[in-house]
Amino acid sequence: MDLTPTEMTETNEAAEQQPEVANTHEHTHDHDHEHTHQHAPALNPELTREIEVEVGADEVSKSFKTVVKRYQKLARIPGFRSGKVPESLIRSKFAKEVRQEVLESLVSERFRKAITEQKLRPVSEPQLLDMQLVDGQPLKFKAAFEVAPEIDITGYDSVRVSKPEAALTDEEFDAELSRVLDSHATVEPVEEDRALVDGDWAEIQFRGEVKDLAQTVTEEGVQNASTSPTQAPITGEDVLIEIGGKNTLAAFNDALRGAKAGQELKFEVDYPADFGERRLAGQTVSYDVTVKGIKHKSYPERDAEFAKQLGNYESWDDFEGKLREHAADRKKSSLDNAAKDKLLGELIERLQFPVPESFVQQQIEARLDRGLRALAQQGMSVEDMRKLDFVRLREAQRDQAINEVKASMVLDRIAEVEGVAVSDEDVDRELLMLSIQSREPLEALRERLSKDGGLDRIREQMRREKTGSVLYEKLAS
């Protein structure tokens, strides 16, 4: 792991109070919300390793002198000729910068040398402990970090899952076709004087009062026993309801069927306990409804002309065939992904190993960032985001983050055993798709991702997805 001292985390509290010993770790985000970070992130004790490093006083002094001399040549200070600034002035005026360069030249080099000699591979940012850096004295420090766990995947290929039945049913295809037709249908008023029948759309105005079911009988009559505040009335204007429609409650069908425009109705609706709108679930609502009009939905003719409006189709049969294929593919993909998730879940449960806490924290941050961006897109303000309980939010993400880290590590290990690789051509195709989606020129995208490590992350994720597919084909039956 090739890190500079500014990428390490120093945990010596005494050192933090000393300008000559203090070291900082900065962590930035590309969004506006604020996070609360621990100065010294926790490490998993099972995976924590610690090394001690010492650099002789002569080498420390030599490094200080080398850096100071370079500053003497480059410094431009009024009253002194170029290259003639006194060493003492350089040491006082640029003390922080000089010390930082000495750290970068000594600490990183010695740290890399020490972990190479001990054949250690850190997977977390090293935490510098008890670091002492003073010109003319030996440099001493300890570094604690996490290493990757040994993952024994023996028996991974004995896990089995069943391949789901992915054939598209006629009912599922009809639902797909209905969605297409509904999106191109027109709703027109019925001019003739007649009653509502199945297939019509009633345009209604309504007001609903939620009845309090908790009532008792006293000497004064019927009283509400509930102490909860009265719910606000439920109202609606120009609402369209399909008579006999599969999504229309039976109570509305029964009340509206046979009614005419201008008619006023009173009826009650008992909502089931599992009703989608929570405030109505399990409630009884008394409605006053006015039928404002009758409308009829007209659908386009299922012919070649309409098919060509929908896309590059030769005929209506061609469109239906392609629609069936796409719907079947989506269903199969969805069911296969669910089965892959189940397979991976069973592997994670079977293969027990410690997980680097640094990886878990990174995954928690990633999940939290995605959640906050979603809230921002839904309209939550930065001020409201800052009021969120981030400690609780992080804790709520922890179990899922651990499973996601475990899944990635298991897939990486299995990819090694199975010899799964991602070709440059595969990556190029993925970049092309990203370029089209983001409308960023391909080469500009490639250059940006190459610089920030994004290209390696894309290849890594593609390898994991490919490994999951290889496992599924191998273990599913």
pLDDT in tens, 421-436: 999 999 999 999 999 9
What would the pLDDT profile of 56-97 be if each residue is shown by its tens digit? 999 999 999 999 888 888 877 887 877 778 888 888 888 889
When computed from its CA atoms, the radius of gyration of the chain, rounded to whole angstroms, is 34
Q: Is the model's pTM score more than 0.75? A: no
Q: Is the pLDDT of residue 120 over 80?
A: yes
CA pair distance 246, 248, nearest whole angstrom: 6
pLDDT at 265: 95
Q: Is the pLDDT of residue 39 over 80?
A: no
Other CB atoms within a 10 A radius of the CB of residue 235 amount to 11
pLDDT at 25: 34
pLDDT at 226: 45
Q: Which residue carries 């250059």 as its tokens? A: 447
pLDDT at 132: 80
What would the pLDDT profile of 392-426 be if each residue is shown by its tens digit? 999 999 999 999 999 999 999 999 999 999 999 99
Which DSSP string do the residues of 196-260 spell out, in sequence order?
A: --TTEEEEEEEEEEEE---EEEETTEEEE---SPPPPPEEEEEEEEETT-TTS-HHHHHHHTT--
Other CB atoms within a 10 A radius of the CB of residue 115 amount to 20
Q: Is the pLDDT of residue 107 over 70?
A: yes
CA–CA distance from 284 to each of 143, 249, 267, 400 (Å)? 66, 13, 10, 39
As a whole number, the mean pLDDT across the chain is 85
Average pLDDT for residues 187-209, to the nearest whole number?
Answer: 93
What would the pLDDT profile of 343-389 be if each residue is shown by its tens digit? 999 999 999 999 999 999 999 999 999 999 998 988 888 898 999 99
Determine the number of helices (DSSP H) and then strands (DSSP E) in the chain: 14, 11
CA pair distance 477, 443, nearest whole angstrom: 42
| DSSP H helices in 75-94 | 87-93
Which DSSP string do the residues of 100-111 spell out, in sequence order?
A: HHHHHHHHHHHH
